[in-house]
Amino acid sequence: MADKNNKQGSPDGVLATNRKAFRDFHVLEKLEAGIELRGTEVKSIRDGHIRIDEAYAHIENGQVEVLQLTIQPYSHGNIHNHAANRARRLLLHKKEILRLQSKTAEKGLTLVPLKAYLKGGKVKIELALCKGKDTVDKRETLKKKTSDMEARRAMRNSRR
């Protein structure tokens, strides 16, 4: 039986999610990207030591890099452990990179990682093309979320 605290045992292999992205951005488009990792990073990620809530991606020299993605050093590693906050290259097709580069050149669009997950034993990042929300939009999203929650609560209490 799988351990409840083990991140590998989670449904569909999700290792980390960026819940702040849906609060702060309008998600326009999603795509899957591989990530170039070194040394003990995969072992550390499988242990659940990854944070993507502050991460963002940018395109430079025809390559997509994700910044502020924190992968803690592996606890059983040695002197060759990785740096926690280094820039990591995302693996995408050239056509996808060119298309994303043209879209991010537009005003206000950015690349934000939404989640990290396992697929076929490999670590993948779900990348989203996003547009920033205004504070008014954030308030409307919060109002909608609370009204939906209250409606669900009322439905649940009426069934009792």
Distance separating alpha carbons of residues 52 and 19, to the nearest angstrom: 9
The tally of domains found in the chain comes to: 1
Residue 141 lies in a domain: no
Question: For residue 83, is pLDDT > 70?
Answer: yes
Give pLDDT, residue 11.
57
Residue 158 lies in a domain: no
Q: pTM for this structure?
A: 0.75
Residue 149 lies in a domain: no
Residue 154 lies in a domain: no
108-133: average pLDDT: 91
Give the up-direction half-sphere exposure of residue 124: CA atoms within 13 A in the CB hemisphere.
17
Question: How high is the mean pLDDT of the chain?
Answer: 85
Report residue 159: phi and psi, to 5°: -75, -20
Range of the domain at 31: 10-132
Share of the chain above pLDDT 90, in %: 45
Question: For residue 138, is pLDDT > 90?
Answer: no
Residue 139 lies in a domain: no
Per-residue pLDDT reduced to its tens digit, 5-62: 444 445 568 899 998 888 888 899 999 999 999 878 888 888 888 999 999 999 999 9
Please name the amino acid found at residue 141: T
Higher pLDDT among residues 155 and 79, named by residue: 155
Contacts of the segment 7-11: beta carbons below 8 A, 24+ positions apart: 7/46, 7/47, 7/48, 8/46, 8/118
Residue 159 lies in a domain: no
CATH code, domain carrying 25:
2.40.280.10
Residue 143 lies in a domain: no
Residue 108 Rama label (left phi>0; alpha psi -120 to 50; beta):
left
Residue 140 lies in a domain: no
